[in-house]
Structure 1
Amino acid sequence: MLIVDILAAAGAAAPQNKFGFMEALKQGGFIAVATVVILGIMSFGSFYILFTKWFEQSKILRQYSVIRTSFWRAPTLRDGVSKLDRNSAWRQLVDDGIQAEDQHAKMTDSLEAHDWLHGSLARSESTINARLASGLPFLATVGATSPFIGLFGTVVGIYRALIAIGIAGSASIDKVAGPVGEALIMTALGLLVAVPAVLAYNYLQARNKRIAELLTGFSNDVLANITSKGAVKPALAAAPVAAAKPVATPAKP
């Protein structure tokens, strides 16, 4: 029992740890908690946009392989459109091109078919690119503002440290370590939220540019096919040429 009493007394006499993340939040009060909550919402939103946009872009890029392999093999655009996914960006371009062709046939003015089809496809392409770019402004906003939100928490923490020093009358470590630690935590959290958001924005933006290039090329191919009444197709759609069989030479007597 004596040993147990000694250990209990030693544990009671040992200094308690008053520093840490939760302790910093308690010392920071409402401002520290609100800063952490705002940064947490920003971080969650950034990763949500990253994964959802990545899956959306990957789906569009996978669907492009169908165009290269089977779509242009169809005799007409109306036959090939059934091979595309119903809600895909590529089918939207083809459907808009076919609809523009049908609408031009009903016009009574002298508007050229090429101009009308080009404008309709460009409008459809812009709609797809705008949909792909949705959510990216949030990533840019998070990357630009989250360091300043963390800096706001840092400023508040330093302010509390100065108040603690003034009240105590001396800059002892036990008076300033908590508020300064809180300030450093807020700075680190701001950077931790900003860096992934900036990386995600640049990565998704680069993939969007690649998709925009593919959409532009596909739109031009659709325009050429419609205006030529199906005579013009991309070179990649040409059927592979069978290898010529060697001609057998008659044996000499």
Structure 2
Amino acid sequence: MTLLQLFGQGDAVTRFVAALLLAMSVASWVVIFWKGWLLRRATRDVGRSTAAFWQSPSLEQARQTVGAFDRESLVLPLIAATAGEPAGSLAAAGDRAQQLTRRLRDALHRILDKLQFGQVLLATVGATAPFIGLLGTVWGIYHALTAIAAEGQITIEKVAGPVGEALIMTAAGLAVAIPAVLGYNVYGRLIGRIEADLEGFARDLRELLTHPPVAVGGVETPP
């Protein structure tokens, strides 16, 4: 007995539960494969992009160099945030350090939103799929017991088949939930590492632009 067989033989509730579990499984696997590809590229690109930035002779040259490595546009928005705000706006009010902090923070939030996309779906599937499967199991057992009671005779053969078919829903719920939970935990750790690297780069970039080095005797030294 498979989910497709249950879908064909069950009633409206059984079919709805089976279809919902199938949709959740497809959605979670699409997110798992997509985020695996995205985070694999992001992990590599962030390290290469930040290294290329610090090896560049100027900020303008750094923008061009980083563009060749930052395929997912995770570092470039932070560099672009260093541009000044239009004069006469509230965004341009305050000192340079405050403006830069606000722009870098906003850019970092947009980047993290991109990296976090799909995590809510994986968490939702992992948390709800077992209970949806359990709903299908309870509903199936209810109908099995109702049919047995209508016949007026209970035997192992009559109980084992319908109850076993109903329990498939529980197994299906777990089969949908486990990959989603594993994907959520693994990708959450990878996102945390990338986030720490980006926050460190943003902090260093802010320090570089708010406390530029001072040339003394032809040698640049901290102020």
Q: CA deviation at 1:28?
A: 2.4
- Structure 1 residue runs without a partner (length 5+): 1-19, 233-253
- Aligned CA distance change for structure 1 residues 185 and 106 (closer, same or farther; 3 Å): same
- Aligned CA distance change for structure 1 residues 72 and 24 (closer, same or farther; 3 Å): closer
Separation of aligned partners in 2, 1:153 and 1:165: 18
Q: Does 1:150 align with 2:133?
A: yes
Alignment partner of 1:88 out of 73, 88, 96: 73
Structural mapping, 1:58-97, within 5 Å: 58-85=40-67, 88-97=73-82
- Aligned CA distance change for structure 1 residues 196 and 24 (closer, same or farther; 3 Å): same
Separation of aligned partners in 2, 1:214 and 1:187: 41
Separation of aligned partners in 2, 1:110 and 1:46: 45
Q: Which residue matches 1:177?
A: 160
Q: Which residue matches 2:10?
A: 28
Q: Aligned pairs, how many? A: 209
Structural mapping, 1:109-124, within 5 Å: 111-124=94-107
Separation of aligned partners in 1, 2:139 and 2:201: 55
Q: Does 1:165 align with 2:151?
A: no
Q: Which residue matches 2:124?
A: 141
Q: CA deviation at 1:122?
A: 0.9
Q: CA deviation at 1:107?
A: 7.1
Q: CA deviation at 1:196?
A: 1.0
Deviation readout 1:138-187 (Å, 9 max, x if unpaired)? 11111111111101111111111211221111112332233202211001
Separation of aligned partners in 2, 1:152 and 1:63: 44
Secondary structure of 1:89's counterpart equals coil
Deviation readout 1:210-233 (Å, 9 max, x if unpaired)? 11100111101111221234x39x
Q: Which residue matches 2:182?
A: 199
Identity rate, percent: 37
Separation of aligned partners in 1, 2:18 and 2:93: 63
Would you say the 8 A contact 1:165–1:175 is kept in 2? yes
Letter in 1 for 2:78: L
Letter in 2 for 1:206: R
- Structure 2 residue runs without a partner (length 5+): 215-223
Would you say the 8 A contact 1:27–1:179 is kept in 2? no
Deviation readout 1:190-240 (Å, 9 max, x if unpaired)? 0111111111111111111111100111101111221234x39xxxxxxxx
Structure 1 stretch displaced more, 137-146 or 219-228: 219-228
Deviation readout 1:84-136 (Å, 9 max, x if unpaired)? 23651101110112x2xx22777798711111101110111011111211111
Would you say the 8 A contact 1:28–1:179 is kept in 2? no
Q: Which residue matches 2:109?
A: 126
Q: CA deviation at 1:67?
A: 2.9
Q: CA deviation at 1:70?
A: 2.5
Letter in 1 for 2:18: V
Task: Report the TM-score when normalising by structure 2.
Answer: 0.85
Letter in 1 for 2:117: S
Separation of aligned partners in 1, 2:207 and 2:144: 70
Letter in 2 for 1:65: G
Letter in 2 for 1:121: L
Kindly name which structure, 1 or 2, has the bigger radius of gyration based on alpha carbons.
1
Separation of aligned partners in 2, 1:117 and 1:206: 28
